């Protein structure tokens, strides 16, 4: 009986150790963070200081996640990869916002220039056009004499 109780208590104490060890390595989240960081760099995150900061944070969090995986702390590494993904996605959004704002500013300036260069058009209705007719007569000289 005493032996059975010790085995039960031992099994209960060992259960949390097995639960922690069974957390899978966050390979999918880590791969996603690589892809999102790369995407942020490709959409021009370096052009915006705020987006560049979030890319840098994502890279640091990704490196920390890799170290946590190496240390066997998969659950913590998984959370760190999620943070890296979020920062990379935010950098992408900030970059795209900058591009959209730039395009809107270009369109606005083109519209402004077009409005300044436009020739004013006057309405042409039946009363605004005056019709004048000019009749010319020409006389053709006739010769009546013979040589």
Number of helices and strands in the chain (H, E): 4, 0
pTM exceeds 0.75: no
The confidence score (pLDDT) of residue 100 equals: 86
Within a domain: 17 = no
**In terms of pLDDT, which residue wins out, 145 or 59?**
59
- 81 touches 65 (CB < 8 A): yes
Residue 49 domain boundaries: 24-114
The confidence score (pLDDT) of residue 98 equals: 85
**59-79 tens-digit pLDDT:** 999 999 999 999 999 999 999
CATH number of the domain encompassing residue 41: 1.20.1270
- Sorting pLDDT into bands at 50, 70 and 90, what band is 22? confident
Which of these, 88, 64, 61, 79, lies nearest to 23 by C-alpha position?
79
Query: Whole-angstrom Cα distance, residue 48 to residue 116?
Result: 32
SS3 of residue 44 by DSSP? coil
Within a domain: 128 = no
CA 65 to chain CA centroid, Å, is 25
Within a domain: 85 = yes
Query: Whole-angstrom Cα distance, residue 94 to residue 60?
Result: 19
Which of these, 25, 31, 40, lies nearest to 87 by C-alpha position?
40
Is the pLDDT confidence value at 32 over 80? Answer: yes
- 88 touches 39 (CB < 8 A): yes
Q: How many domains does the chain have?
A: 1
């Amino acid at each position: 009986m005493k032996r059975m109780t010790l085995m039960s208590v031992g099994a209960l104490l060992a259960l949390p150790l097995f639960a922690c060890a069974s957390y899978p390595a966050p390979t999918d989240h880590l791969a996603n963070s690589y892809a999102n960081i790369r995407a942020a760099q490709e959409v021009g995150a370096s052009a915006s200081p705020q987006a560049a900061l979030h890319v840098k944070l994502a890279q640091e969090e990704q490196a920390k996640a890799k170290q946590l995986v190496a240390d066997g702390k998969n659950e913590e590494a998984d959370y760190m990869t999620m943070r890296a993904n979020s920062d990379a996605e935010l950098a992408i959004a900030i970059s795209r916002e900058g591009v959209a704002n730039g395009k809107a500013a270009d369109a606005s300036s083109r519209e402004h220039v077009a409005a300044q260069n436009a020739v004013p058009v006057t309405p042409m209705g039946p009363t605004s056009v005056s019709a004048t007719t000019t009749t010319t007569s020409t006389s053709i000289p006739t010769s009546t004499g013979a040589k």
